[in-house]
Structure 1
Amino acid sequence: MDIIGSLKPLNIIRSAAENEITDKDEPLSPPALLFQSPQLNCCVMATMGSKTKWDADRCKMGLENTLAKHPRFSSLLVMDEGNNYTKMRWRKTKVNVDNHIFVPKIDLPKTDDPTEAADRYVEDYISDLHKTKMDYSKPLWEFHILNIQTSGASGVVVLKIHHSLGDGISLMSSLLACTRQSSDPKRLPTLPTSTRARSHSSSKTKGVFCTFWTMLLMVFNTFVDVLLLTATALFLKDSDTPIKGSPESGSAKKCMVHKLINLNDVKLVKTAMNTTINDVVFGVTEAGLSRYLNGRYVEKAGYQMASKIRDFLPKGLRVRAALYVNLRASAGIEAFAKIMENETKLESGNKFGYVLLPFEIAIRDDPLDYIRRAKATLDRKKLSFEAVCSFAIGLFIHKLFGTKAVAPLMHNIISKTTVSFSNVVGPQEEISLYGHPLAYVAPTVYGAPQALTMHWQSCGDKMVLILTVQSDLIPDPHKLCTDMEVSLNLIKDTLIKRGLITAN
């Protein structure tokens, strides 16, 4: 169902041309140029569910006082004649917010389950929105208001942003800078800080030895990781599985679904196993993918899944995730709020590297082994400069050969992996956007040359799992979400049985 096409033109609150401000143009950074390339033309979608209906006029006023003042959200992309995207520049403009707000008229079919119909409408709307091109006559962002009762919210907003405006961290920070704590409308949200203790050696000699050994590990691990990155660019690719996409997956039809998970369950596992939330999320992901893929192979073999899972997984599967890592020093939400108040300037574009994370797809007798292996994998990746090297190599190739050489190289590497993966820390408390209390925030990316994109986003007492899938390869994304939740529950139940945590 082509919802977007059937609604053209959408019910825009008001329409007027946006006026360019004659000022010195600013060139795009190399990463921003990458996201304008035909191979990596990506958009960020942030779906926000509200506990109340959305007020379009209140949203307009809020956008005028926040995002419309952001340097990137108030700039046009212009280029010289010839449509050479490598010559694009940012040009300051006066934003007409009416051109960016869309309020479609929604007419849901009458069914026995109107909530399920509303959920499907939102999923189809986002899928069709992905296929529509951005309007380059205005800054590259849109604000779509869908005032329908879904299973998780009384109304939904979909914020579509071209990825060239910023990386995931800067865009999420800019969005959170528009929100306020629900309990105190004058206060910005707060993000959790790392409390992982650092071990201090009592012996100076031991401390020097540990430092030397750590440096050796950093050098060795970085060498191996860069070698594997190079091999991936040349020939090394993931195994063909039911979730492995093709180089053309970036333009394939995608579907986005999400599931709300109790963050306290994740924290219980984290505390009991003395790990980090990242370790738990990665372990649960590996367990959920193993469970889902095993089910797909069971179906392929023509069997029914029994109460006790039998292992139908092929041996030696290579399944990797491309994990994007922010390389910019964290500035905090307050700094992004000051940008929109014209009080300060801050580097807020794209600055990230990526690492290749291996998943060991297997059915394990002990569910806790998924967390143990995840911790070992991530601890090893922390002792590597893979992300920094990937960013530096990209810049080096860009300086030598230009963006038109870097874009197909990155596309080639990413398309040989199976999953795009990220875990983003969100606010600790309940938040409101322009006076609307949020039930959840679910960001994702469209356009990556993979069949599966997976994001974990914390928000208050919830952890939101967001899956963006290639519809013809993964026709049952809700099943994959359920397998992730079941895997977390199995891990938690195992800890309870062994007396390591108590049941709620």
Structure 2
Amino acid sequence: VGLLFDMETDDRFEIDYHVRHTVLPRPGNDRQLNDVLARMHANLLDRDRPLWEFHLIEGLSDRRFALYFKVHHAMADGITFGRWIDRSTVTDPKDLSLRPIWAVTEEPEDAEQPDLSYAQIIQDGVKALGGGIRTAIDVSLITAKMVQRRFFDKDDHVALPLSAPRTPINVHTGAARAVSFTAYRLEALRAIGKSQGGTINDVVMTMCDMAVSRYFDEHGTRLKGPLVAYMPVSIRTAESDGRGNLVTLLQVKLASRHEDPLDSLAEVRESIDSAREVFSGASSTAVQYYSLMVALLSLFEELLNLDRLLPPVNNMVISNVPGSRVQRYLRGAESIGVYPVSTLPPLTALNVTACSFAGTMYFGLIAGRTAIPDLDTLTEYLDDAFFALAEATGVSTD
């Protein structure tokens, strides 16, 4: 009835609670930083306070420091977060102004108090009902289109709900987390994709598919079909105000096993095109509702312990977020890396998020520590997948 997503002022706000300071012991290496980040990320945000934390982490070698900003996904998606980074940093290293990231979000416009009269509530309810009916029709059309393409058009690239193979990483994850990071030249990724008529995103998805498939092979897991990944897609428009989360999830069936990495890239590219085609023409609201329905299947599987009876909805999350194209500075300090650390959906113990920044694509892997205790090994396989694709396409990795 128009009363959701309300904003309220926190009269008990304590900046000291949200802004925190950590110092690593010597030698202050990246492994220590990863361990600290994994522990910080494992803890839920306090639901009784504004849903964010900011951590200044000092003690890193080579006079480095890290900034870890943790925010609930309901408040920001990757694009929103990138805008916050841009507003809290500068492009001129001589500019020593300071704009804390928690203070650069748009101020909510002054809104009048909602009209709570019975007449207005009824009117809003009628509007919501009408919109709901239209959305339900659109969602039904999406489902029908998916079934048609899969069973009547024989499009094997379409990923149906509950069609993902069972794997050791589609389990109850628990609270413990592991994180790992790597990075590649953005131009190299672009050149690999372009050489095969594809995009950077096609290459990112293929690299993750190759790495995870190899990881399963090395651990003796035999898959009964191609992996299925959630691929977050922004549905922002020019009219979007830049706040909140405006992302939907597409299910993408990845590649069958191929000796040639270019065959894997071609199959993943076709699967991504099929996923986008299924949702073409549908309203953004309908796409969001369909994605929400599919995501709820995973939640119900987890809550009701149905994962022993039903196949998983998806196997992992692979996301690609655009960031700043130019170097950024914070009071003269150069940003030497922007690594994303995302979230894990129900029954999904792996999320790989890539973020472009100043000519480099930074990958952040987060996993359930029990399901994937050797996450760094998976990161090494991701590196190997990148080099294999580069070699197959003749692209320089220097």
Give the TM bin, normalised by the shorter chain. 0.7 to 0.9
Change (3 A) 1:377 1:319: same
1:240 aligned to 2:148? no
Q: How many Å separate the matches in 1 of 2:212 and 2:295?
A: 29
* Cα deviation digits, residues 414-441 of structure 1 (max 9, x gap): 9631101211111111112454321111
Question: Cα 1:447–1:293, aligned 2, differ >3 Å: closer, same or farther?
Answer: closer
Distance between the aligned counterparts of 1:218 and 1:451, measured in 2?
A: 28
What secondary structure sits across from 2:164 in the alignment? coil
Aligned length: 336
1:294 and 2:192 matched: no
The secondary structure found in structure 2 opposite 1:384 is helix
CA RMSD of superposed structures (Å)? 3.6
What does residue 329 of structure 2 align with? 432
Contact preservation (8 Å) 1:182, 1:437: no
Partner of 2:84: 174
Partner of 1:488: 386
What amino acid is the match of 2:345?
A
- Identity of matched residues, %: 21
List per-residue Cα deviations over 1:91-124 (Å, max 9, x = no partner). 134765444211124334xxxxx35xx3232222
Alignment of 1:100-119 (within 5 A): 100-108=18-26, 114=27, 118-119=29-30
1:360-399 matches, cutoff 5 A: 360-362=255-257, 364-385=258-279, 388=284, 389-393=286-290
Contact 1:178 1:434 in 2 (8 A): no
Please list, as runs of the form range in 1=range in 2, the aligned pairs for 1:24-173 lying within 5 A after superposition.
28-29=4-5, 89-93=6-10, 97-108=15-26, 114=27, 118-149=29-60, 154-173=64-83
Q: What TM-score does the superposition give when structure 2 sets the normalisation length?
A: 0.72
Unaligned runs of 5+ in 1: 1-25, 30-88, 109-113, 188-216, 298-312, 336-345, 398-405
- Show the counterpart of 2:224: 316
Classify 1:180/1:416 alpha carbon distance in 2 versus 1 (closer, same or farther; 3 Å): same
Alpha carbons 2:179, 2:366 under 8 Å: kept: yes
Can you give the 5+ residue segments of structure 2 that lack an aligned partner in the other structure?
Answer: 98-140, 152-156, 303-311
Distance 2:392 2:53 in 1: 45
Looking at structure 1, the residues matched to 325 and 213 of structure 2 have their Cα atoms a distance apart, in angstroms, of 31
CA shift in 2, pair 1:294/1:467, >3 Å: same
Q: Is the 8 A contact 2:387 2:397 kept in 1?
A: no
1:247-286 map, 5 Å: 248-249=172-173, 251-286=174-209
Deviation at 1:489? Answer: 0.8
- Cα distance in structure 2, aligned partners of 1:121 and 1:271: 38
Distance 1:222 1:436, change over 3 A: farther
Q: Distance in 2 between matches of 1:129 and 1:28?
A: 30
3-state DSSP of counterpart to 1:316 = coil
The answer to whether the Cα contact below 8 Å between 1:253 and 1:471 also exists between their aligned partners in 2 is yes
Confirm whether residue 472 of structure 1 aligns to residue 370 of structure 2: yes
In the superposition, the TM-score normalised over structure 1's length comes to 0.58
